[in-house]
Structure 1
Amino acid sequence: MGLLDNLVGAFLKLTDPTPEYTGPRCLLERNSVGGCDKCQQVCPHGAINLESFTAEIDEVKCTSCGLCTAVCPGLALEFPLGPIQEKLHRGRGQIRCSKAPGAGDEIHCLGQLTPGALAEAASRFGALVLARGDCESCRIGGPTIPERVQWAVQEAKRYFPGLEVHIQNQPLRGAEVGRREFFGALLGGAKRSAAELVPNLPLPPLEPYEDKRGELPAELRLRRLAAYRAQAVRWPRIAVAEGCTLCPVCSNVCPTKAVERERAPGGEEYVLKLNVSACTGCGACLESCPPQVISLVEAGREEVLGAPIELFRGRPPWYDL
């Protein structure tokens, strides 16, 4: 691909990008029992195809509304959350969609606001103000946007229960910004645009299936940061009851590698451990567990911010086979 093609591709991604897809975090690719079609169901334009047991996005139909990124249980679909977080910070918790009039920062569509982005901004600035345009006639996200944003707000309250959000269908006044913040924002925006427009150098080919589950997604980092500032949280996590055979199914289907199975040192026991802050509550392990001994519960702040917890320990019944 030549320099011109790279520049054109980068420009198109800046103006109307599609979400980045990380296959190893998709429940379909992880062969979770029951699979998942949430991204396809929520997409207002039929831009997502799941027929090949992977999420294929039609770049022509996709409008970058972001609804699929908010509902994806394994966080396999993502937009860069850094720029969104920066705009929420610059507006001190106030932001508007690209079709809403008023002042202050804007994002393409309020559907791009994930639970983590909302929780983190609220943990820092208090009540959030989101201004929307006429969703009924909007070709980006459509009439379901207010309902989906309310859903994201309720999810965000798991990570920051004190979250308060005001959604208005009127011009956004915008937060007051000083000269230093204004010029800093201009310089930062110019640097980011230049970096995104410069074509990447050719990279060596990757393995056909690179497992990126060990890399904590930005969404989970934002949720954890909000939980750190909260007094109490209701973070989803799993529990394992008696009857566990210590098979590897739960760790295999986990989209974020929150569940790990390891052999206890110096013995015949195996241990299941859970990194609570990496658990999305997707339910893949719950549905796929052969003896059906996994349940979904809630974790407190100490478990979220602490070390991995032990879910189950024992000598597998298949050990001597």
Structure 2
Amino acid sequence: MLEGVLNRLGEYGNPVPRYTAPRCLLERQAVGGCDACHATCPHAAIEFGPLGQSIQIDPQACTGCGLCVQVCPSGALEYDLTAPLQSVRDAGQAGEGEASLTCSQSGAGGPTLPCLGRVTPALVSVAGAWDTPLTLLHGECRTCPVGAPDVPERLRRVVEEAQTLRAATGQPAQVTVREAGPEDRDRAVRVSRRGAFASLLRTGRQQVAQVIPERPLPFVDWSQPEERTPEEWRWRARSLVPAPAPAAGIHWPAPLVDDTCIDCPVCSNVCPTQAITRELKPEGGVQLLLNLSACTSCMACLRSCPPQAIHMQEEWLPAAFHHPILIRDSDSVM
């Protein structure tokens, strides 16, 4: 039976990140564009293509390290967060004291990722929301064929970003980043137990998950507004637990518009998640609305604004996440 499962899933081996073209700043033709993924890839697996396929990934060169996903400012590149989040959740529910994630080259046991380049601020922040200590175990990164030599430093930046987000909750994430040692080889895959049969079933699934390839994410249905927001930022918003105090500032850089705005559509056109929407008023004039939860802080709108009428606000009150924010209301169309 297992052989049949492996044969059916073989085509999904080492999937490249999902690329959602409408979220790419190159596709949105934002001023300055973006080359973060191309510049970051340690294996020269990412090239620029024509409009409509601005990012092209060579599946033969891609190792699935996730470093391009980690730096993508708009969520155009992403991996499924379900498996690592479930590992953290299971460890917390099992009362094991901590959760761990380790890279495939570390030699440590427990839940494994191809590279800890897959770890994102959302994953760290959710561990904090669940009050589950998280240990991130890397291998010898200087000679690693999967990731890059500076993965540990990148991880520390990811943790810092997550902690900045969590500051408003008053409950920082408990995260340790270190190189795996011989004592980590016997780490177990922790699973939640809900009855004997469920335990056996879930344990079997977790063990199989260590050897079968992961499935790539399905394509985004752009006609569904909720799918336009990347999973990373949806989880960041959900991770704001315990709920911040009403007057607490939540670090979530996003745009504001001043009175030099000329009511052009550039900011809404370049927004990779359509967090900014532009509406014409029946009596004349324009309204700009910001869906803060959908904003990825890429600031393509700020760089692209012709009169430079947009500036960044770094902190917002919790109430700002509940309803669209009116950031521009003009009397007449220019």
Residue 187 of structure 1: CA displacement?
5.2
Q: Among residues 274, 279, 292, which one is paired with 1:262 in the alignment?
A: 279
For the 8 Å contact 1:237–1:281, the answer to whether it is kept is yes
Instruction: Flag the 1:135–1:252 CA change in 2: closer, same or farther, 3 A.
Output: same
| 1:154 maps to which of 151, 160, 164 | 160
Instruction: Kindly provide the CA deviation profile for residues 263-319 of structure 1, in whole angstroms up to 9, marking residues without a partner as x.
Output: 23x52232101000111110100011111011111233514531011101012442x
1:16 to 14, 17, 23: 14
Find the counterpart in structure 2 of residue 67 from structure 1.
Answer: 67
Stretches of 4+ aligned residues off by more than 6 angstroms: 190-197
2-side partners of 1:245 and 1:64: how far apart? Answer: 44
Return the offset for 1:65: 0.2
Q: How far 1:137 sits from its partner (Å)?
A: 1.5
1:46 corresponds to which residue?
44
Distance 1:96 1:28 in 2: 33
- Aligned partners of 1:135 and 1:195: how far apart in 2? 23
Aligned twin of 2:267: 250
Indicate if the aligned counterparts of 1:159 and 1:226 stay in contact, CA closer than 8 A. Answer: no
Which of these residues, 256, 260, 271, is aligned with residue 287 of structure 2?
A: 271
Alignment-derived partner of residue 230 in structure 2 = 217
Tell me the distance in 1 between the aligned counterparts of 2:116 and 2:271.
29
Alignment map for 1:90-105 (pairs within 5 Å)? 90-92=90-92, 93-105=99-111
- Structure 1-normalised TM-score? 0.84
Q: Normalising to structure 2: TM-score of the pair?
A: 0.81
Q: Which amino acid aligns with 1:229?
A: P
Alpha carbons of structure 1 residues 39 and 46: separation in structure 2 relative to 1, 3 Å: same
Answer yes or no: is 1:25 the counterpart of 2:23: yes
Does the aligned pair in 2 maintain the 1:135–1:142 contact within 8 Å? Answer: yes
State the AA in 2 paired with 1:297: Q
Distance 1:243 1:37 in 2: 30
Between the two proteins, the alignment pairs up a number of residues equal to: 302
Q: Which residue of 1 aligns with 2:178?
A: 168
1:16 and 1:175, CA in 2 relative to 1: closer, same or farther beyond 3 A? closer
1:120 is the counterpart of 2:129: no
Between the aligned partners of 1:235 and 1:27, the Cα distance in structure 2 is 19
Deviation at 1:249, TM superposition (A): 0.7
Mark the runs of 5 or more structure 2 residues left unpaired by the alignment.
1-5, 93-98
* Residue 142 (structure 2) pairs with residue 132 (structure 1): no
Q: Percent identity?
A: 36
Identify if the C-alpha distance between structure 1 residues 175 and 83 changes in structure 2 by more than 3 Å, giving closer, same or farther. closer
Determine the C-alpha separation between the residues in 2 that align with 1:112 and 1:103. Answer: 17
Listed one character per residue, the Cα deviations across residues 11-37 of structure 1 (whole Å, up to 9, x for unaligned) are 242x31100100000000000000000
Residue type of the alignment partner of 2:255? I
1:157 deviates by 2.5
Which deviations, in whole Å up to 9, do the C-alpha atoms of 1:217-272 show, x marking residues without a partner? Answer: 211111011124353521111111111112111011000110011123x5223210
